[in-house]
Amino acid sequence: MAITRPNALTHRSALAQYCDGVKKLKNEFTGPRTSDLGVPGPSKQVSTYDLFVVWHVNAMMTLTPAKNNPEQRNAAHRGPVFPAWHRFMLRQLELNLQRVLGDTNFALPYWDWSADGEGSPEEQLNSDLWKPKGIGGSGDPVRTGPFVFDPSDPSSFSVRIDTDSNGNLEQVQRGLARTLGQDIDTLPNKTDTANALNSVPYDGPPWTVSSSGFRNQVEGWVDPNGPALHNRVHVWVGGDMSPASSPNDPVFFLNHCNVDRIWEAWMQKHGRIYLPDAKAPAKLKGHRINDKLASFISPPTTPADVLDVSAQYVYDSLSV
């Protein structure tokens, strides 16, 4: 039976359960070590949560295709596969949260950021999400909420692997950083999501950040005034949401759950259409409907396999 993904701000118990599960995955070590993953420095165990950070960085650094790819489409971003790859990643996190929480009914909550984006910049900063009973606020390090780092408590939340200025993985030991509203002052709003919902086709040539269509609109590359939608949320949150290691901030998954909800709403409106199809040329390998999505902690899947997830989960609302 399908689970129902709730709004994080109206289902506070689901958000609290999410935070609890994240901390459990942060303290679960199944065997992989930094030395196995090519992360320089002493060989240390890598937690299940941190494997998601490494997976995201690896996918971002895997060019598709590896050569003759001027706009640098990669295995998870800047091309058609963006919503599908993140749906795959989110579901893997959800299944692992269910496992460590011992609750097969647990469903990832989403952050309806365009609802917050309807308020003034000050109101956006004061959303309940950033309160101590939400996921904590701004800071370097974050000093409120469930993800505060206590150097004297090894089980407290800490950032252990991030990326440097060149995008290389590196080991660190520090608190989570957020700079809410500092790099850009407003979140996307309902006009932005409505425009994305009306955007057709799903994607199209050149299948990059220069394409028109839903995928590029929701990824956030099409606004001449700066980052939009998904990209804008990363930039607005700032801190650890800025580099390729952005899953370090648990809000990453709340953001992408909302992106996934917008994609689901788009498919309800326009049909479960994905482009490019299986006959597209080899230069689009990694982004065609039957190509394998870049996997790390599980067997791979394909965009075709994740188009209809109604047997696994639904959303409590598709009003985006």
Using CB under 8 A as the binding rule, the residues of this chain from 219 to 248 that contact another protein are: 220-221, 224-227, 230-232, 234-235, 238-240, 242-244, 246
By the 8 A CB rule, do 53 and 161 touch? Answer: yes
| 66 counts as binding another protein under rule CB under 8 A | yes
Least separation in angstroms between CB 299 and another protein: 5
Least separation in angstroms between CB 183 and another protein: 5
Binding-residue pattern over the window 132 to 161 for another protein, x denoting contact by CB under 8 A? --------xx-----------------x--
Least separation in angstroms between CB 234 and another protein: 4
Distances (CA, A) of 102 to 18, 21, 24, 65, 98: 12, 10, 11, 40, 6
Q: What is the DSSP string of 9-41?
A: TT-HHHHHHHHHHHHHHHT-EEEEEGGGGT--S
Give the nearer residue to another protein in terms of CB position, either 13 or 165.
Answer: 165
Least separation in angstroms between CB 185 and another protein: 4
Among 164, 269, 271, 277, binds another protein (CB under 8 A): 164
Among 297, 316, 317, 318, binds another protein (CB under 8 A): 297
Query: Whole-angstrom Cα distance, residue 114 to residue 190?
Result: 5
| 301 counts as binding another protein under rule CB under 8 A | yes
Query: Whole-angstrom Cα distance, residue 314 to residue 197?
Result: 18
Distances (CA, A) of 301 to 85, 244, 293, 294: 9, 22, 6, 8
| 317 counts as binding another protein under rule CB under 8 A | no
Distances (CA, A) of 18 to 119, 191, 237: 26, 29, 19
* Count of residues near another protein by CB under 8 A: 84
By the 8 A CB rule, do 296 and 54 touch? Answer: yes
| 175 counts as binding another protein under rule CB under 8 A | yes
Query: Whole-angstrom Cα distance, residue 40 to residue 30?
Result: 20
Residues 78 to 107 in contact with another protein, rule: CB under 8 A: 91-92, 95-96, 99
